[in-house]
Amino acid sequence: MPASPVPGAPPTQGVPLAALLARSDLGLRQIAGPDAAGVLVHGAHTSELADPRPYLLGGELLLTAGVFAPEDGDFDAYAVQVAAGGAVALGFGVAPVHDTVPAALAAACDRHGLPLVEVPPHTTFSGVGRAVWELMARARHVELRRVTEAQQALASAAAKAEPLAAVLHQLAQRTGGFTVAVGADGAELHHAGVRPPRPAAEALTALTDVVRPRADRPLPVPSSAADSVDGTHLSAYALSTGGALGLATPARTAGDHTIAGAAVVLLSLLTGERHSADDTRRSAALVGLLLGADRTEAAAQLLGSGTWRVVHARPHGPATRPPALDTPFAAFSADGTPARLLLPADQQVTPYEGWTLGVSAAARPADLPLADAQAARALARARATRAPVAHHRADDAPAPTLTALAQHPALLETLRVWLSLHGAWEGAALGLGVHRNTVRQRIARCASLLGADLDDPDVRMELWFALRHTA
């Protein structure tokens, strides 16, 4: 595991100096100083100043051709200044000023623990800088992928039969450390991973106590705290339920902090005493959606395997709340758009004073986009006929599905582009790169396979919802 960044280093993803030395195209060679395996480089900077400290941020590989070389050959002061400025290594370019790296500079770097790298004549400083940034970009990509995969794994763990244990196990696995959740009273709820030795374990317990609110602590408590004991990095995070999450890892990275943040959200939901089993399941599904879980799977987790109805409701005048229907799933906006609700299919929907309602047919979770379109049509019919509530008519033609086009990707894409352009033949032909007659033939074929009238705007709307859901 690479060493942690030096104090004052920029908050970037560092790369091992050893990775630069391994680049055969650069031909770099370490000739003095400590082993490069534990040195992280956060950038490259070129300077010919005798004292480069004012221009160093920390964490750089400092590149020089030795123009500053002291007349007396004493490089001690220079090595001290480079190290004090935060540079993690010194790269010395051979030619045109010096034919070889001065032996006195190598000795000074050895004395002051500064890795010294020889840059051969054929390697430019800009080439070294480009290689540093390429390696940093690659490291950032790898870290981003690790964080994304960890967040998805945590979201999936929250849906397990024992979500608390599963989330902690995933957090320990993804960070390579030990995790523990404690309740509002400080009692351990669950842990995962190998518990660190006693000094670090006791320090972690103390950290979790720091972020927990207590009656005898009048000042606001911090949302997180960190410490290091015997090379083990410790972190504690406050949970919204009054408990805390403790994490002990062999290293501390920005990626681990992001992963722990996702776990804090999940654990806050899972450890709340006010949540019933259904509430916990639904909260985990909603968090899964936020973290990128599959929408269809999340809908099935939220709603189960039963059937549901979508209700669109519009107020007759100013309204402050949607109809008081018995459902935990409701969305309401005061900007003139309809309220949208999900109800179990066996729940009766009757007129509600001050509102006009449109109700869909019963639908499975996977078919809710089509049910949403049905509810919108029913609401439009109710408003047109001044009825308080309108249901999707049983004698309506069944909503078209895309099953018949599943084996015809060209037809699916043509239908999608054509519908997105409101049936414009020329625009669809241009977007698809084909002749307009080809578009007409494909749309006619779609209508035949679907058994649907594509001139009907309601049919087009339902197909558009189905296409968006498929995408």
Give tens-digit pLDDT for 337-374.
677 888 888 888 888 878 888 888 888 877 887 888 88
- Is residue 120 domain-shared with residue 74, that is, in the same domain? yes
Quote the number of domains for the chain: 4
pLDDT score for 107: 95
Same domain for 270 and 312? no
Does 407 lie in the same domain as 375?
no
What pLDDT is attached to residue 470?
63
Q: What pLDDT score does 274 carry?
A: 44
pLDDT tens string 161-193: 788 999 999 999 999 999 999 988 889 999 999
Q: What is the mean pLDDT of the segment spanning 377-405?
A: 73
Task: Report which DSSP code applies to 404.
Answer: G
Using the 3D structure, point to which of 357, 391, 425 is the last residue of a domain: 391
**Can you read off the two tokens belonging to residue 34?**
């400590």
State residue 237's pLDDT score.
92
CA distance 158 to 288: 8
Q: Is residue 8 part of a domain?
A: no
Number of Cβ within 10 Å of residue 97's Cβ equals 14
Mean pLDDT in residue range 239-255:
87
Give the end of a domain, one of 220, 249, 281. 281
The verdict on 385 and 422 lying in the same domain is no
Q: Do 73 and 99 lie in a common domain?
A: yes
Q: Which domain holds residue 432?
A: 403-470
* Number of helical H runs and strand E runs in the chain: 14, 17
Question: Each residue of 96-116: pLDDT tens digit?
Answer: 899 999 999 999 999 999 999
Q: Are residues 379 and 410 in the same domain?
A: no
Check pLDDT > 90 for residue 382.
no
d(CA 204, CA 178): 10
Mean pLDDT of the chain: 83
Q: Is residue 71 part of a domain?
A: yes
Give yes or no: residues 131 and 236 share one domain: no
Query: Does residue 7 carry a pLDDT above 70?
Result: no
Domain membership of residue 194 (yes or no) is: yes
Task: Tell me the pLDDT tens digit for each residue of 412-452.
Answer: 999 989 998 888 898 899 889 899 999 999 999 988 888 77
Specify whether 61 is located in the same domain as 97: yes
Task: With cut-offs at 50, 70 and 90, classify the pLDDT of residue 3.
Answer: very low
Evaluate whether 41 touches 20 at the Cβ level (below 8 Å). Answer: yes
Give tens-digit pLDDT for 311-325. 888 887 665 555 555
Tell whether the model's pLDDT for residue 398 goes beyond 90.
no
pLDDT at 6: 46
Q: Are residues 359 and 410 in the same domain?
A: no
**166 shares its domain with 276:** yes
The last residue of one of the domains, among 370, 391, 412, is 391
Q: What does the pLDDT read at residue 384?
A: 66
In a domain, 362, yes or no: yes
For the ranges 35-49, 243-257, 261-275, 395-409, which has the lowest average pLDDT? 395-409
> With 0-12 CB in 10 A as exposed, 13-18 as middle and 19+ as buried, what is 401?
middle
Is there a domain that residue 143 lies in?
no
On whether both 346 and 319 belong to a single domain, the answer is yes
- Please state, for a pLDDT cut of 90, what percent of the chain lies above it: 37
Question: pLDDT digit string (tens) for 62-98?
Answer: 999 999 888 888 899 999 999 999 999 999 999 889 9
| CA–CA distances in Å: residue 438 to residues 415, 419, 432, 441, 453 | 12, 15, 10, 5, 19
For residue 229, pLDDT beyond 80: yes
In a domain, 295, yes or no: no
CATH code, 227? 3.30.450.30
Residue 151 in domain: no
Q: Give backbone dihedrals phi and psi of 75, rounded to 5 degrees, phi first.
A: -95, 5
Do 123 and 165 lie in a common domain?
A: no
Whole-number pLDDT of residue 49: 92
Residue 316 lies in a domain: yes
Q: Do the beta carbons of residue 89 and residue 114 sit within 8 Å? A: yes
